[in-house]
């Protein structure tokens, strides 16, 4: 292994973090996955550890160290709200031997760059959170949503998981329709399915309802996103309606930034895969989808790598994207 300059791209999400180690030619020579890397939703200490775990794993295949990495580009949401200088992460990296340059990029730009190198286009991300952006001259020109779990993220994994939890609570409270989601959520949370009888020591509610309220209020709100996959089991009217509305919300966010033809990169576990959310998304767009080339991507890892290459002064082309995409696939 030669000791040429290396670069690292980091795609730090609300659920997990991915790190890609590359040569200046865009060839991936290492890949690692760590824990939650978003400093807003996970907190700076947990996010720093999640990023470091992913970086450490990415270095293993090459036998290289952080001292060999000249540039790290970390793509994440909310960095400027936490610490514009990035000391919460840089300090930890320095203690591990990093002496290069750390840059921060938008996770949405990383998603776009995972599927497109064109200077103009669009990206919609629907993972734990959700947002839509218009990219011009290689930078984000306009965005919609991405407002976090309390005020936005419409159609996201959190949004879906929250609706799943509310539907189950309404079912158990006899205030809403029965749904197969109830049994699935109780199983996921480890709550006995035969706890339907009223709790004699409670407030006239079922034991299951009391218990689910206790469990969910003990979690961080963003953890409701973990319930989202339960809605993708077909055949339940309540779940189908949740997914339909999620797709429509995501389409409305994209419509807010549409200004012409271009590639449309879609990422995140909610929208990147075919299924009811994407179907509802495309139906809602209707004629507005004309001239948009849909490009699903698994995540923002490839794009984070391309952004690191750019930050290091390397030329980026469609061939670079193809090289990085293909070489990273061998590590996934």
Q: Identify the DSSP state of 67.
A: G
Q: Is residue 14 pLDDT above 80, yes or no?
A: no
Question: What's the pLDDT band for 77 if we cut at 50, 70, 90?
Answer: confident
| Phi/psi at 88 (5° precision) | -60, -30
Helices (H) and strands (E) in the chain, counts: 13, 10
Question: What's the pLDDT band for 53 if we cut at 50, 70, 90?
Answer: very high
**Digit-coded pLDDT (tens) for 87-119:** 889 999 999 999 999 999 999 999 999 999 999
Secondary structure, 3-state, 136-181: ECCEEEEEEECCHHHHCCCCCHHHHHHHHHHHHHHHHCCCCCCCCH
| Phi/psi at 179 (5° precision) | -150, 145
Question: What's the pLDDT band for 194 if we cut at 50, 70, 90?
Answer: low
**Digit-coded pLDDT (tens) for 116-163:** 999 999 999 998 889 999 999 989 999 999 998 999 999 999 999 999
Cβ burial 220-229 (10 Å sphere, 16+ → b, else e): eebbbbbbbb
Q: Is residue 2 pLDDT above 50, yes or no?
A: no
Question: What's the pLDDT band for 1 if we cut at 50, 70, 90?
Answer: very low
CB neighbours of residue 297 within 10 Å: 23
Domain 118-298: what homologous superfamily?
ATPase, nucleotide binding domain (3.30.420.40)
The Cα–Cα gap between 208 and 220 comes to 20
**Digit-coded pLDDT (tens) for 261-281:** 999 999 988 998 899 999 999
What pLDDT score does 324 carry? 97
**Digit-coded pLDDT (tens) for 240-255:** 999 999 999 999 999 9
Stretch (H or E) spanning 75: strand 69-75
Domain boundaries, the chain: 6-105+300-329, 118-298
* CATH class, 6-105+300-329 region: alpha beta
User: What is the chain's mean pLDDT, rounded?
Assistant: 91
């Amino acid at each position: 292994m030669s000791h040429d300059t290396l670069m690292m791209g980091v795609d730090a999400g609300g659920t997990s973090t991915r790190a890609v180690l590359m040569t200046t030619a865009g060839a991936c020579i290492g890949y690692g996955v760590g824990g939650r890397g978003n400093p807003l939703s996970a907190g700076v200490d947990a996010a720093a550890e999640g990023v470091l775990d992913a970086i450490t794993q990415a270095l293993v295949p090459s036998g290289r160290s952080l001292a060999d990495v000249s540039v790290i580009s970390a793509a994440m949401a909310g960095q400027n709200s936490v610490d514009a200088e990035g000391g919460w992460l840089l300090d930890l990296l320095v203690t591990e031997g990093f002496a290069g340059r750390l840059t921060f990029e938008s996770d949405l730009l990383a998603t776009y760059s995972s599927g497109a190198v064109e200077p103009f286009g669009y990206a919609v991300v629907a993972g734990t959170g959700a947002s839509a952006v218009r990219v011009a001259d290689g930078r984000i020109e306009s965005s919609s949503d991405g407002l976090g779990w309390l005020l936005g993220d419409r159609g996201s994994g959190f949004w879906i998981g929250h609706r799943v939890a509310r539907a189950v609570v309404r079912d158990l409270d006899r205030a809403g329709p029965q749904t197969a989601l109830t049994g699935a959520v109780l199983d996921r949370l480890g709550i006995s399915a035969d706890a339907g009888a009223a709790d004699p020591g409670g407030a006239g509610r079922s034991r299951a309802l009391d218990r689910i309220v206790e469990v969910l209020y003990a979690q961080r709100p963003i953890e409701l996103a973990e319930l989202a996959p339960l809605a993708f089991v077909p055949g339940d009217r309540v779940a189908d309606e949740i997914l339909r509305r999620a797709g429509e919300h995501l389409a409305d966010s994209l419509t807010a930034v549409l200004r012409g033809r271009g590639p449309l990169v879609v990422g995140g576990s909610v929208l990147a895969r075919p299924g009811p959310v994407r179907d509802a998304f495309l139906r809602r767009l209707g004629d507005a989808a004309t001239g948009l080339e849909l490009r699903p991507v698994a995540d923002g890892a490839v794009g984070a790598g391309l952004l690191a290459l750019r930050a290091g002064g390397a030329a980026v082309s469609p061939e670079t994207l193809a090289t990085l995409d293909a070489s990273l696939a061998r590590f996934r």
